[in-house]
Chains A and B, each alone.
Chain A
Amino acid sequence: MSELTMRVWRGDPEGGAFTDYPMPAVEGEVVLDVIHRIQAGPAPDLACRWNCKAGKCGSCSAEINGVPRLMCMTRMDELPTEEPVVVAPMRTFPVIRDLVTDVSFNYEVARRIPPFTPGPPPPGGYRMKQQDVERGQEFRKCIECFMCQDVCHVIRDHEENKTAFAGPRFFIRLMELDSHPLDEEDRREFTRHDAGLGYCNITKCCTEVCPEHIRITDNGIIPMKERVIDTAYDPVVWLGRKIVRRGARRPASTAGTAGEQPAAEESATA
């Protein structure tokens, strides 16, 4: 049986280093399987977050050979094994222990997103046609693995931007809400000013690492940028809106919390 070497980051908030684990190669395994075998053998105290092992819970995000990937969806036979397979925690977030990082930054941002705000239900309740549902459904595929947040250089390489920049996961959330036919809030100024959309220079790394293959940049960030330009940077559109005042939505405040989401959202977007 051939052998491979797993080079795994071991550490805590005090610091850390890579440790090599020579392991027998087993056909058909994914990286998470080998991590579990390390836990069962040479390093029972190795910390790693995982849950579904099916690419749907978004728990086992890590950087495998330097690229953010889900450990449960990365087959060992697609990695070069002549060199050690390097497994490190997500760079953007503080380490709790070993491969487990503190992703609370994302939950903080999520709390600031103005929630879904539908108008009063019409007689017969909310109804949406298929073409209105489709666009938002793509964003609903997000499993919140936060690899797009991890790979985004705006916060990955410039931690000071975390206070001003929401990140790609939340731009698709904002796009989903802003383009929702039942939503009545205008999130464009929030997206520009509070979420820091202007920091994004659309280098598409978020799209490249998304395990759900959401076109984060093409379908989320750039359309949202264009919507922001409509209100903030395009004098012609601004003038047009002044002359023809129709369908104006109320600007979103920054006071939203995750607990305010009306039940109508799930039924309307499902």
Chain B
Amino acid sequence: MSTLEDVEPVSVNLGGVRGGPDVRTLRRDAWWRFPAATTVFLTVIVTYLAWAIFQNAYYFVGASAHRDLISPFYSPCITGSCVPGAHGTFLVLHWWTITPAIFAAAIPGGFRFTCYYYRKAYYRSFWQAPPACAVADGHSRYTGESRFPLVFQNAHRYFWFLALVFNVILTIDAVMAFRMPGQGGIGVSIGTLVLVVNAALLWAYSLSCHFCRHACGGHVNQFSKAPVRYRLWKFLTPLNHRHMEIAWLSLFWVTFADLYIRLVASGWISDPKLF
């Protein structure tokens, strides 16, 4: 009687005639829609953000308009180039004269760039590796994230920790947005709601992150011996499964928040007080 141990290994059949015709894809559905839409959306967003970051103006609506609204890209405004009245903090880099939005571009930007979801989105749309499932990728050689420079995608967790600091700061900004200097002290305007929703979405994005799920409980092998981490993991799991939707929504909203405040600060529109 033979056993599994008696079975001789069979060499892997490489280089044989592979299944089906040698064409890029046999798909006939509109597989190109997702990469095309992603390319357009990300290009528009990144172009706008690059412009907004280096414009270095119209990012704060202050006491003269009876508001306290700052663009999420320019917070914390801790550089010497900040406009007067933008949130003062205990730390001011007086020697810094270029745009303070560099911080947001580097840290939350790096957090999103290394995000597992965005990686899927831009690998498919920009890098064409692959553009869609069962559609041949456009590269003669492929090593993925196993080598320099893409191996640095593994730094995602460090960006996550740093992005949490930004979430705290933007939450403080959202609370400060309830201030109505010269209009009775406290109130709610459209700008207030925009910043509150922005902070909530950024927290949802950070908490739905795959690393967050791993750090809070995913690294545990025996859940029954770590009940608190198990509950955290159970709480974060459904959120994590919505990471894609939250990623798009929060990116759209943070861009919209900047645009709204920019329009108010430049006088194109006013920020109506609701109550």
Contact = CB atoms under 8 A, between A and B. Distances in A.
B130 interface: yes
Give the bracket for the number of chain A residues in contact with chain B.
Answer: 35 or more
Nearest to B226: A131
A203 B16 contact: no
Contacts of A203: 120, 123-124, 129-130, 133
Contacts of B10: 104, 107-108
Interface in A1-57: 9, 11-18
Given A104-B13, A223-B214, A198 B222 contact: no
By DSSP majority rule, is chain B's interface helix, strand, loop, or mixed? loop
How many B residues are at the interface, by size bracket? 35 or more
Interface stretch (B57-65, B90-98, B142-150, B258-266): B142-150
Contacts, number: 198
Given A91-B134, A105-B13, A258-B4, A66 B25 contact: yes
B19 A131 contact: no
A contacts with B: majority SS: mixed
B4 A259 contact: yes
Contact of B19 (A93, A201, A202, A227): A93
A91 B210 CA distance: 31
Interface in B214-232: 214, 218-219, 221-224, 230
Nearest to A234: B157
Contacts of B16: 13, 94-95, 102
Given A67-B27, A94-B16, A198 B146 contact: yes
Nearest to B234: A131
B8 to A, nearest CB: 11
Given A67-B133, A202-B120, A203-B123, A162 B154 contact: no
Contact of A201 (B5, B129, B223, B230): B129
A159 B18 contact: yes
Q: Which 9 A-B pairs have the closest CB atoms?
A: A94-B16, A198-B146, A66-B26, A66-B27, A259-B4, A89-B19, A205-B133, A88-B20, A199-B144
14 contacts: A16-B17, A65-B27, A80-B28, A91-B19, A93-B13, A108-B11, A131-B230, A181-B221, A181-B223, A183-B221, A201-B129, A203-B133, A226-B157, A234-B157
